[in-house]
């Protein structure tokens, strides 16, 4: 069965970087686009970006452009999201999502990771 298992919680200081992982299983990673979405405590959902694991093409939200990098390791079925120059506004739960397009983009996720809490605090 399809599973997305994310790395554990992180606590970072302002200005630092964080790199989160999302280990996929139960399907071929290269056949499905992947998204990252975050949710600050008590706030709404914010789309961060998308990666095509087949080739590594990405598109990022303008708000975090320049601070975010999404990558893929197809040998382990894992995707990564690195966010730099962290501030308290980056404190949030971060989710990886599988796009259900299956070979193409749909924009609709069918599986979510369990989330990784990132806390940015001095």
Partner 1 sequence: DAQMTQSPSSLSASVGDRVTITCRASQDISNHLAWYQQKPGKVPKLLIYAASNLQSGVPSRFSGSGFGTDFTLTISSLQPEDVATYYCQKYNNAPLTFGGGTKVEMK
Q: How many chain residues interact with partner 1 (CB under 8 A)?
A: 19
Could you say whether residue 62 binds partner 1 (CB under 8 A)? yes
Could you say whether residue 117 binds partner 1 (CB under 8 A)? no
Find, among 16, 42, 6, 45, the residue nearest to 121 by Cα: 16
Could you say whether residue 50 binds partner 1 (CB under 8 A)? yes
Burial state string for 52-88 with b = 16 or more CB within 10 A and e = fewer than 16:
bbeeeeeebeeebeeebbbebeeeebbbbbebeebee
Task: Give φ, ψ of 22 to 5 degrees.
Answer: -140, 105
Could you say whether residue 104 binds partner 1 (CB under 8 A)? no
**Residue of 44, 55, 75, 122 interacting with partner 1 (CB under 8 A):** 44
**Residue of 32, 90, 115, 120 interacting with partner 1 (CB under 8 A):** 115
Q: Which residues lie near partner 1 (CB under 8 A)? A: 35, 44-47, 49-50, 59, 61-62, 95, 106-110, 112, 114-115
């Amino acid at each position: 069965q399809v599973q997305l298992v994310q790395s554990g919680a992180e606590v970072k200081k302002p200005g630092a970087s964080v790199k989160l992982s999302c280990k996929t299983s139960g399907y071929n990673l290269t056949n499905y686009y992947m998204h990252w979405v975050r949710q600050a405590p008590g706030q709404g959902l914010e789309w961060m970006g998308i990666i095509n694991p087949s080739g590594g093409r990405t598109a990022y939200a303008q708000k975090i452009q320049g601070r975010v990098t999404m990558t893929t390791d197809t040998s382990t079925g894992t995707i990564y999201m690195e966010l730099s120059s962290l501030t308290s506004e980056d404190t949030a739960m971060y989710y990886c999502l599988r796009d259900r397009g299956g070979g193409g983009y749909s924009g609709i996720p069918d599986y979510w990771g369990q989330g990784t809490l990132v806390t940015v605090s001095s």
